[in-house]
Structure formats: structure tokens, C-alpha cells
Chains A and B, each alone.
Chain A
Amino acid sequence: MDWTALWLSLRLAAWTVAILLPVSVVMGRFLAYRHFAGKGVVEALVMLPLVLPPTVFGFYMLVAFGRNSPVGAFWQEAFGHQLVFSFEGLVVASVIFNLPFAIQPAQRGFEAIAVEVREAARCCGMSPLASLWRVELPLAWPGLMTAMVLTFAHTLGEFGIVLMVGGSIPGETKTIAIAIYDRVQAFDDRGAAIMSATLVAISLFTIAITFWLSARVGRRLS
């Protein structure tokens, strides 16, 4: 059992969720409420990581964040190491790759709030921020919850992009998914089986928590 790899995966998933939660609130809300020219294009761009082959996505991440890119060069200058093939680089790739999993359900969550309910919040004297906190977030919560669970689970399982952008550096970029692949390559079926089972257990646990929470929300609204 590669505990380092599991811990790395959990950290990566936690960071991705932590960064994408506010992003999905802002973007999901924006896309749910606003109608503007080019909205379809923005929505399509958000969905792109869903249809792109992970290797293609990973390749462009290397191009965009590699040593020769402006971002990569700046990172090297500022932190003394490359952005790609590092944990931070993995977080960046994971955040971008998970955009559709986070923003889509969040957007649906905000879209489910009747426009009159939002207007009523304003008429009740709530500022946009107060309305978000007291009315919109509690109502969009099931969507946001789904977004975060999907992101978490999806990050744990991602393989192609992690391999392309991170390589397989133990303790830095070697996630549990890659560790399992390594075990299989080394004919260590037992190791692969233990790690796979652990991943299944974690996934089941996450889904169970989601179901329990959304049932609670459902009771709260009825």
C-alpha cells in the first residue's frame, strides 16, 4: 500500500475542491443569472475539458505552463523550480480540468432559484452579498455539493493528465491512480488490489455523505 501516493491524491483533491468552490459559486452564478452575447461560447469552453482526450489536454498544459512559457518562466523565477512536474502544477491542471465538473452543477443549482425569489431578497433589503449568503447559497447548496463531490472523486481518479503534467515523482506528483498503474506494471497484483479497494471505499464513503447531505437539504425545503 502506497500511503504517500494516497495522501498526495487526497491533498490534491482537497486543494482542487478548495479552489473550485469559490470559482464555481462566482462562475455558476454568473452563467445562471446573466444573459449575454457569447454565453454559449463561454459555456462550451467550460465544457471543453470534458470532451478533450486527457493526453491532448495534458500536452497543452505542458505548452502553457512549461519552462518556455511566460507562466512557467515566471514560476521558475519566483519559486526556483518548474511549475510542471510539481505538486503546484498538478493543482493548476486539476483545477482547470475539473472546471466542467464544478461549474455545471453549480450553475444548475443557481438556475433552480426562481428569479422572483432573488428579487424578493432585494426587496427585503438584502444587498447582493447578503442575498447570496442568506438565500442563494442555502438554495443552491445541493448543486454546489454535487459539484464538489464530483470534483473530489474525479481528481482522485484522474490518470492521463497527471501523468502528462506531473510525471510520476513519488511524494510530489505520484498519485494513487498512478501508483496502482505502477503496481500492475510490476505484476504486484496484491498491492494494486489493496489500493484499488481503498479507492473504492473512499469513493463510496464520499457518495454516501453526499446522499445523506442532500436528503437533509431536501427535508429542509419541504
Chain B
Amino acid sequence: MALEVMARAAAPIPLDVAFRVEPGELLALVGHSGSGKTTLLRTVAGLWRPERARVAVDGTIWIDTAAGIDRPTHRRRVGMVFQSYALFPHMTALRNVMAAMDRPDRAEAERLLDLVNLHGLADRKPAQLSGGQQQRVAVARALARRPQALLLDEPFSAVDRATREKLHAEIIALRRHLAMPVVLVTHDMNEAQLLADRMAVIEKGRVVREGTTADVMADPEALRAMGIREAAAMLPATIAEHLPDGLTRLDTATGPLFLPQVEGAVGTRVRVRIMAHEVILSRDRPEGLSAQNILAGRVTAIVPGRGPAVMVHVRVGEQDILARITRRAADRMALRPSEPVHAILKSMSVARDHVAPAPAGALRSA
């Protein structure tokens, strides 16, 4: 059953939001700090009580101000992962996980620690663990609660970039164990795009756009709050070959993609985040370019924005990639929907952390 959330408040920050998350679905609430996204998460957990709110999950009402219902946090079956880890410093990793269980079960706690790749570290205190390891314990602890809803509050923003990449991959791998609705609060659009099925852009306490991650990340209006330069699409690819010059060749639906060293064995399915402003379009297959990656596709849509640019959707295989080019260029090329076009991408324009494992199991592609 789904998680349904409605919250309205005038202070301390104005809030007027309603959203719904299906079981097994990951919704990212994105927005700048002060937009109200963390307050929303705290409302779901019962750590904050807005003037008017209704939160229901699995048919259980956690709060309904209109009906005078307000379950305290400890009676809501909620898993929360905090930005600051918030582990109990006097307990070992294992004890931290067991602390969230109604009936402490050592074997189950060890299984959860294994699930987040912390095998052998069960007896360490939080102070003896790195930031990434602490956050893994926090995830295991949140799952130990057997939550009806899992809430992640900027969970990876306190760790370094390399650790964050690993944690992203682990969360993607963990997804097939997560049958409950998951809400992720983040200001990192890359993180949201890698992890989320759906996104809601929050601005000044309101949802300015909600939809599938692919749709939101392609919508110039939705992205105005977070920066139009975040516009990007996820292109599925398979690792084909690690080349001696440090590049990795990936196979996509319409041709090879050469990227700087991508981690993973040959045959691994990945998704590549391709930034719209990095893509060049050409009607003919260009010759003599330094750019290595030329993907043949077909124009599916040309979406004008407010400025001098347009967003061109190019179908590559079964996915659209995005190219943000000037209206002038689109006019000069006389681009029309359904016409063939070539998308050109510099290898060096794809950042390391813009390549993520493909979601495992029977999950909707994001």
C-alpha cells in the first residue's frame, strides 16, 4: 500500500504539499535548502507537526489533524536515515541495528549488516567506522525497523565523492529488497536521477513539478528551480571493453560510447547520465571530429524554453537522450520530429559519478 502525504503550514516555512509514493517506488524530493523538503520528511516521521497534515501508509493513519489523530514517532513503523548518520555512539554496529527491532534478533541484524556490505564490522563502535560505513549501519538500522516507509534525508551529502558513488551503487543494488515506499530528500540532481523512479521538485514549500525522473529531468520549467544545466537523460549501456588507453567502450542501442574508465566487469549493464548541454546535434554523420561518441537517433520532440534554447529529445534505441541547443541552431538545421539526427558527445564530458549500475530485478527503469 502506498504512502500518502499531505501537509500545510504557514510557519516556520510555508508548506502546501501533497504527494503519494507507491510500494517499492523511490520518490526524490529535490529542492534548495530551505525549500521545505526536509520538513516534509520530518512530518512523515512525526518529528515535526505542521498545522494541517495527513499521512497514511498501508491504510494506517499516522497523522490526520482534521480527525485529531497523531501517532508519536515511536509508534510509526518508519525507517529514517539521517544526514549526520545519528548512530548511537555507545553501541556497536550490531547493537545499533538491534536497537531498532521490536524483538532483538542477532542473526537478523547480522544479515542486515551483510546486506549493506559491513560483514566483519559488527563489533565496531560508530567512532571506529568511516562516514560511509556509519551510513551503511544507519541504513541497516532503518531496515531493521521493518518500516512501512523508508525515509532518506540527504543521506549521502556528508561523505566524500568516491564513497558517495559506492553508496549510490549499493542503494541501487538494495532496491530489490525494498518493498516499501521510499522517500529520498536531496539537493543533488545527479543523485536524484541515479536513484529515483519519480521526482518532485519543491520550491518555497510547494511542489512545482512531479513526475517520472526522466520527464522531470527533461522539463526546462521544472528545472528552473534547480538550474537548467542539470537537464540530463539516462542512457542504458553495457560495458563492452576496457581499453589500454584508459577508456572504456560501452555498447548502446545505436553504437559504441567511449568513456573514461568505467568500473565494472565486461557485460555489466549500466546507465550513463548524459547532460543535455553537453550534446551536439548534427544532421549528417560528422567526419574528422575529436568527439568519439556519435549516436544515431531520431528527433521525438523539440521543447522550447523561456530563453534562447530549445530541448531536443532524441530517441536512441528505446530511450530519449536530451540535447539543449539554441533555437537559432535548431531553426538553421530545420529539425523536425521523427527526422534522423546524430547526437555527439565528448568522452570527457561524462563525469565518473554519472555512470551508475542498472537497477537490478524487476524495477521500473528511471
Contact = CB atoms under 8 A, between A and B. Distances in A.
Most chain A beta-carbon neighbours within 10 Å: one of B47, B78, B86, B142: B86
Sorting the interface of chain A by its residue count into under 10, 10 to 19, 20 to 34 or 35 or more gives 20 to 34
Nearest to B84: A116
Interface string A114-149: 101101111111111011001100110000000000
Contacts of B46: 122
A222 B73 contact: no
Sorting the interface of chain B by its residue count into under 10, 10 to 19, 20 to 34 or 35 or more gives 20 to 34
A121 to B, nearest CB: 7
B136 interface: no
B102 A120 contact: no
Nearest to B73: A122
A211 B123 CA distance: 26
Contact of A221 (B74, B80, B90): B90
Most chain B beta-carbon neighbours within 10 Å: one of A121, A124, A135: A124
Is chain B's binding surface mostly helix, strand, loop or mixed? loop
B145 interface: yes
Most chain B beta-carbon neighbours within 10 Å: one of A114, A120, A128, A222: A120
Interface of B: 45-47, 72-75, 77-80, 82, 84, 86-90, 99-100, 102, 125, 127-128, 138, 141-142, 145
A119 B82 contact: yes
B101 to A, nearest CB: 8
Given A139-B89, A221-B125, A222-B127, A126 B82 contact: no
A122 B47 contact: yes
Contacts of A124: 74, 99-100, 141, 145
Is chain A's binding surface mostly helix, strand, loop or mixed? helix
Contacts of A131: 74
Contacts of A221: 89-90, 125, 127
A220 interface: yes
A-B CB proximity, top 10 nearest: A116-B86, A122-B73, A124-B100, A120-B86, A123-B80, A116-B82, A138-B90, A222-B127, A122-B74, A125-B74
Contacts of A139: 88-90
Interface in A186-222: 220-222
Interface string A79-120: 000000000000000000000000000000000001011011
